[in-house]
Amino acid sequence: MIVVMRVGSTETEIDGVLKRLKELGFKGSLSRGEERTVVGVVGQVYPELADELAVLPGVADVVRVSRPYKLASREFKPDDTVVRVGGVAIGGGNTVMMAGQCSVDTEEQVMATARLVKEAGAHILRGGAFKPRTNPYAFRGLGEKGLQILAAARDETGLPIISEVMDPRDVELVTRYADILQIGSRNMQNFSLLDEVGRCGKPVMLKRGMWAPLQEWLLAAEYILAEGNDQVILCERGIRTFETDTRFTMDLSVIPLAKRLSHLPIIGDPSHATGRWYLVEPMAMASVAAGADGLMVEVHPNPDHALSDGAQSLTFDNFRQLMDRVGEVARAVGRPLAPVS
């Protein structure tokens, strides 16, 4: 349920609505758009609530949201959400590039990667320190040491860093180092993790579960938003289909659809979606053409020796070329690469 305030409603009237909601046991989430202010009602609503709220001063309308997610919906917030990290705006009409190794390995290699992606025009450095692995005997990441390496790369290059958190118990630790916390595909419905990152105070990038319909993905985002964190970024990283020649199937149509149904920015991840380095560039261009607010791409100085996802990692040369081609598409569709600081 959404309470739409009258144009020109006063702060006292808005406060009045928030106060009444609290008295009734709900949380009110405020969204000030260019044209109107709306209050999202967080909690299990009942039909009579609409009448109780409609009579409050300053209220223009009370609308029942037809979809189960509210704070994530365009109905609640018509304007695009812009997530700001360092000097970079994600969702502001530009194309933002996140790039780096799948997993953090040595300081030397991560530094080399950070320098290269920065020089090629990327905005954010990625690297996994906690790795979700299908096989428990595979490399599972360096943990805090990995985060320290990423932080050192940030210190040198100035690039903000994004890194995955897999366990609610590690949220505090990852929040201390990373500028954006990543929730991986496999954890999209780890509800206690979603609650925890909802309270962490940093932006969160929520990857789509490889099995998840859009509605479940947006409901997962709703968990984070409902805890008070409005800095949520979606990431399409491919879904499971019958196709086995690619690692997953990149669902391009979900990009414009998510943007229609939700105000949250969306990033395309052609690396995990395809699993093959030579498919990354074409699907990167396609994601941007389809409306993605940015991309996340895996890059490694020596993909053959990467500790994870070498087959989909780009060499430095391939990444430079991808940046050129994506830059052209981004310009052509009116969302040029975001300025670099």
Query: Residues in the site for ligand PEP, rule: CB under 6 A?
Result: 102, 128, 132, 184-186, 207, 237, 272
Cβ at position 310, least distance to Mn ion in Å: 10
Nearer to ligand PEP by Cβ, of 88 and 210: the residue is 210
Which partner, ligand PEP, Mn ion, none, binds residue 185 by CB below 5 to 8 Å per kind? ligand PEP
Which partner, Mn ion, ligand PEP, none, binds residue 247 by CB below 5 to 8 Å per kind? none
Cβ at position 133, least distance to ligand PEP in Å: 9
Asked whether 91 and 264 are in contact (CB, 8 A), the reply is yes
User: For the CA atoms of the chain, what is the radius of gyration?
Assistant: 21
Nearer to Mn ion by Cβ, of 164 and 251: the residue is 164
Which partner, Mn ion, ligand PEP, none, binds residue 94 by CB below 5 to 8 Å per kind? none
Which partner, Mn ion, ligand PEP, none, binds residue 184 by CB below 5 to 8 Å per kind? ligand PEP
Angle (CA) 278 272 124, round 5°: 95
In the bound state, the residue with its beta carbon closest to ligand PEP is: 184
Cβ at position 291, least distance to Mn ion in Å: 24
* 129 half-sphere exposure, CB direction, 13 A CA radius: 26
Cβ at position 189, least distance to Mn ion in Å: 20
Cβ at position 217, least distance to Mn ion in Å: 19
Which partner, ligand PEP, Mn ion, none, binds residue 115 by CB below 5 to 8 Å per kind? none
Q: Which stretch binds Mn ion (CB under 5 A): 195-203, 210-218, 304-312, 327-335?
A: 304-312
In the bound state, the residue with its beta carbon closest to Mn ion is: 102
Question: Other CB atoms closer than 10 Å to residue 64's CB: what's the count?
Answer: 12
Which partner, ligand PEP, Mn ion, none, binds residue 259 by CB below 5 to 8 Å per kind? none
| Number of residues engaging Mn ion in binding (CB under 5 A) | 2
Q: According to CB under 5 A, which one of 53, 88, 98, 102 is a site residue for Mn ion?
A: 102
Based on the shown chain and the rule CB under 5 A, indicate whether residue 196 belongs to the binding site for Mn ion.
Answer: no
Q: Which stretch binds Mn ion (CB under 5 A): 9-17, 79-87, 95-103, 219-227?
A: 95-103
Nearer to Mn ion by Cβ, of 238 and 265: the residue is 238
Cβ at position 208, least distance to ligand PEP in Å: 8
Cβ at position 256, least distance to ligand PEP in Å: 20
The residue ranges that bind Mn ion (CB under 5 A) are 102, 309
